[in-house]
């Protein structure tokens, strides 16, 4: 099917809407880095806010750059799961079982980030894959996933603040937890309401601290494993031989070793949680068509490298049957890095790890607040949330959305009462599977984009970013995500292991999302968009007409460290 008539009509529409000025920027509806509102209003009217809207261009500020986006992605993916959670994976599956589990999920993350990058480079809208789902699949899917994310974020932020209180008990229990809660509610609100660049700089610093610590710990643990510390014998692959590379879990023999490996997949998914939110503030990015693909490519390599090396060296230094892995304090005491370093007698490492884990928890709450507010703002743009959430400050922050989430932060005070805390964690468990739901949505969006491009006869070279193999990787990753989603709670169905909370966290999010999808579909009578009807020509023209600014290279001392994000 030829797309020339469609493209010609879209160009004529743009020319009619553009200024009569003879300058190229005016002809394209683009001047001084800002999109003319008449052009964007036309897109909004034509596509019901599927493309970048006048509201976004007018009300939000493009305050995030390449280095912010790259480091935000690192900050989101390298968190408490890496510093505290690897020990549990080794205990359950053994050093090789845990390594294979994280490697498989790492490949899934690769597919997800590339799929998200390709779609977001074409559609750099606020709300990212939530809006992509409405454009490429069905408005009902965007509604269901969007409100699932809003609900999850509203409960995830207070849960992170509660975790911070637990982490501080590693040093002292003399300070009342309410003081920590109130302090971090205030700090989180300040970062959330400030200019988006403030958030970017805070996350940049936190991510840099994480990178420096994990690099130090990996190098230090390799030295310890090799016998480089005087008086400490080399361990080598000692623990791979005894107790062995795999651990039997629930069952015995090879089946039990396989179940141990499989149980790591679900925990590994949540360790990587956060990478899917990389494009949430796309409308607030400078040069999104370049920044998003770069962040997806480079950040994935660094995150995967950190995780693979980290779990490898921890498996060399900590035995899977080490009793210290049973520590459930939630502080640095349970970190396998701390356990590994204890043999070297360096007393400062536990405190350093605990301090960075605190920044990780707060960083996670900041990033969840950013993602949640942008999704809520995007839902309001589509008329699926009250329009009051479109209100922004003069510096471009959706303050009504921030105030909405700030109110939920006070749920963290439930941690001061044991019975209330039990109810609170049940509420949090309702969306524990939302990470996989989000990944599935990202992959479905990408597959639909690739199929629509083929159906409409549009050359893939016209997409801002594309890879020939990404369609196949998305299909394989989608299959794996569905399998992990359906089997992630298999343990509760085995003899003697039933747990209501385990069942809820593994499966209840599925009917919640399906219910929201079907109810919205029934009320609004929405339909799954046909591949031919998806208006890709307008999206491509918008991307072509508004190119990125020339790239600025780091120079001087910045070049020595800019490899982390550049």
- Looking at per-residue confidence, does 529 or 42 come out higher? 529
Task: Report domain extents, the chain.
Answer: 48-529
Q: First and final CA of the chain: distance in angstroms?
A: 40
Which H or E run contains 37?
Answer: helix 37-47
pLDDT of residue 76: 64
Query: Closest Cα partner for 393 from 58, 51, 33, 49?
Result: 58
pLDDT of residue 255: 94
Q: What is the pLDDT of residues 522-533, one digit of tens each?
A: 999 999 999 999
pLDDT for 2 beyond 60: no
pLDDT of residue 5: 38
Average pLDDT score over residue span 285-302: 77
Name the DSSP letter for residue 530: P
Q: What is the pLDDT of residues 339-372, one digit of tens each?
A: 777 766 777 788 888 888 888 888 888 888 988 9
User: Domain 48-529: which CATH class?
Assistant: mainly alpha
pLDDT for 285 beyond 90: no
Q: Are 189 and 409 in contact (CB under 8 A)?
A: yes
Average pLDDT score over residue span 217-235: 84
Q: What is the pLDDT of residues 382-406, one digit of tens each?
A: 889 999 999 988 888 899 999 999 9
Confidence of residue 29 (pLDDT cuts 50, 70, 90): very low
3-state secondary structure of 281: strand
Helix 470-487 to helix 86-122 angle (10° resolution) is: 140
Half-sphere exposure of 160 (CA within 13 A, CB side): 28
Average pLDDT score over residue span 118-127: 88
SS3 of 409-431: the string is HHHHHHHHCHHHHHHHHHHHHCC
pLDDT of residue 37: 45
pLDDT for 413 beyond 90: no
Q: Is the torsion defined by CA of 320, 322, 324, 329 positive or negative?
A: positive
Mean pLDDT, the chain, rounded, equals 80
Name the token pair of 292: 């998003």
CA distance linking residue 247 with residue 100, whole number of Å: 13
pLDDT of residue 516: 95
3-state secondary structure of 8: helix
Query: Closest Cα partner for 123 from 474, 436, 465, 369?
Result: 465
Average pLDDT score over residue span 437-450: 96
pLDDT of residue 261: 93
Q: What is the pLDDT of residues 249-271, one digit of tens each?
A: 998 999 999 999 999 988 888 88
Q: What is the pLDDT of residues 136-190, one digit of tens each?
A: 999 999 999 999 999 988 988 888 888 888 788 878 777 788 888 899 999 999 9
pLDDT of residue 473: 96
pLDDT for 30 beyond 60: no
pLDDT of residue 85: 74
CA distance linking residue 428 with residue 437, whole number of Å: 15
Question: For 242-381, where are the alpha helices, taking DSSP H only?
Answer: 253-271, 288-317, 336-342, 348-381
CA distance linking residue 87 with residue 196, whole number of Å: 35
pLDDT for 483 beyond 50: yes
Q: Which residues pair with 64 in a beta bridge?
A: 285
pLDDT of residue 42: 41
pLDDT of residue 482: 96
pLDDT of residue 556: 58
pLDDT of residue 3: 40
Average pLDDT score over residue span 465-486: 94
222: phi then psi, degrees, rounded to nearest 5:
-65, -40
563: phi then psi, degrees, rounded to nearest 5:
-60, -25
Confidence of residue 17 (pLDDT cuts 50, 70, 90): very low
pLDDT of residue 524: 92
Q: What is the pLDDT of residues 74-109, one digit of tens each?
A: 766 666 677 777 888 898 999 999 999 999 998 999
Which H or E run contains 63?
Answer: none
3-state secondary structure of 123: coil
Average pLDDT score over residue span 509-535: 93
- Looking at per-residue confidence, does 465 or 229 come out higher? 465
pLDDT for 44 beyond 50: no
pLDDT of residue 424: 67
The pTM for the full model equals: 0.86
pLDDT of residue 330: 62
pLDDT of residue 557: 55
Average pLDDT score over residue span 458-473: 91
3-state secondary structure of 387: helix
208-212, 242-246, 541-545: which has the minimum mean pLDDT? 541-545
What CA dihedral angle connects 79, 199, 125 and 120, to 10 degrees?
-40
Rounded to the nearest 5 degrees, what angle is found at the Cα of 124, between the Cα atoms of 121 and 126? 150
Residues whose CB falls within 8 Å of the CB of residue 521, separated by 6 or more in sequence, listed in order: 138, 140
Q: What percent of the chain has pLDDT over 90?
A: 30
Q: Is the torsion defined by CA of 271, 303, 204, 370 positive or negative?
A: negative
Residue 466 φ/ψ region, left for φ over 0, alpha for ψ in the -120 to 50 degree band, beta for the rest:
beta
pLDDT of residue 329: 62
CA distance linking residue 535 with residue 229, whole number of Å: 63
Which H or E run contains 490?
Answer: none
pLDDT of residue 486: 94
């Amino acid at each position: 099917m030829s797309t020339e008539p469609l493209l010609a009509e879209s160009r004529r529409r743009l020319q009619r809407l553009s200024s009569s000025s003879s300058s190229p920027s005016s002809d394209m509806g683009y001047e001084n880095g800002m999109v003319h509102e008449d052009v964007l209003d036309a897109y909004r009217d034509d596509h019901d806010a599927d493309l970048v809207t006048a509201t976004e261009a007018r009300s939000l500020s493009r305050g995030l750059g390449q280095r912010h986006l790259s480091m935000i992605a690192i900050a989101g993916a390298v968190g408490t799961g890496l510093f505290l959670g690897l020990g549990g994976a080794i205990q359950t599956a053994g050093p090789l079982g845990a390594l294979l589990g994280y490697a498989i999920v790492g490949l899934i993350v690769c597919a997800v980030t590339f799929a998200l990058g390709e779609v977001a480079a074409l559609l750099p809208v606020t709300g990212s894959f939530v809006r992509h789902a409405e454009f490429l699949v069905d408005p009902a899917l965007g509604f269901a996933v969007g409100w699932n994310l809003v609900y999850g974020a509203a409960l995830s932020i207070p849960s992170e603040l509660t975790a911070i209180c637990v982490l501080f008990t590693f040093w002292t229990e003399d300070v009342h937890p309410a003081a920590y809660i109130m302090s971090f509610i205030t700090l989180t609100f300040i970062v959330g309401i400030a200019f988006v660049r403030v958030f970017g700089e805070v996350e940049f610093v936190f991510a840099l601290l994480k990178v420096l610590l994990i690099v130090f710990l990996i190098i230090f643990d390799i030295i310890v494993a090799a016998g480089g510390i005087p008086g400490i014998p080399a361990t080598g692959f000692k623990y791979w031989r005894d107790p062995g590379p795999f651990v039997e879990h629930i069952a015995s023999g090879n089946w039990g070793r396989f179940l141990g490996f499989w149980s790591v997949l679900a925990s590994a998914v949540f360790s990587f949680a956060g990478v899917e939110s990389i494009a949430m503030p796309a409308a607030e990015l400078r040069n999104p068509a370049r920044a998003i693909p770069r962040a997806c490519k480079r950040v994935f390599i660094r995150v995967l490298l950190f995780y693979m090396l980290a779990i490898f060296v921890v498996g060399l230094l900590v035995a899977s049957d080490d009793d210290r892995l049973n520590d459930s304090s939630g502080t640095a005491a349970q970190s396998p890095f701390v356990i590994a370093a204890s043999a070297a007698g360096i007393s400062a490492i536990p405190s350093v790890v605990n301090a960075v884990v605190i920044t990780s928890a707060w960083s996670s709450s900041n990033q969840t607040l950013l993602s949640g507010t942008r999704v809520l703002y995007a839902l309001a743009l589509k008329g699926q949330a009250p329009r009051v959430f479109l209100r922004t400050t003069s510096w471009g922050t959706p303050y009504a959305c921030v105030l909405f989430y700030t109110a939920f932060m006070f749920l963290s005070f439930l941690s001061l009462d044991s019975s209330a805390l039990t109810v609170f964690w049940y509420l949090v468990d309702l969306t524990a599977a939302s990470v996989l739901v989000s990944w599935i949505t990202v992959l479905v969006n990408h597959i639909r984009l690739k199929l629509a491009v083929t159906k409409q006869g549009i050359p893939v070279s016209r997409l801002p970013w594309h890879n020939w193999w990404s369609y196949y990787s998305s299909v394989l990753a989608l299959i794996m995500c569905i399998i992990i989603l359906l089997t992630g709670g298999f343990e509760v169905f085995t003899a003697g292991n039933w747990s209501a909370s385990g069942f809820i966290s593994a499966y209840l999010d599925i009917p919640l999302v399906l219910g929201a999808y079907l109810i919205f579909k029934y009320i609004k009578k929405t339909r799954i968009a046909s591949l031919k009807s998806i208006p890709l020509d307008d999206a491509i023209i918008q991307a072509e007409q508004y190119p990125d600014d020339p790239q600025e290279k780091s120079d001087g001392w910045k070049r020595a460290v800019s490899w982390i994000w550049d």
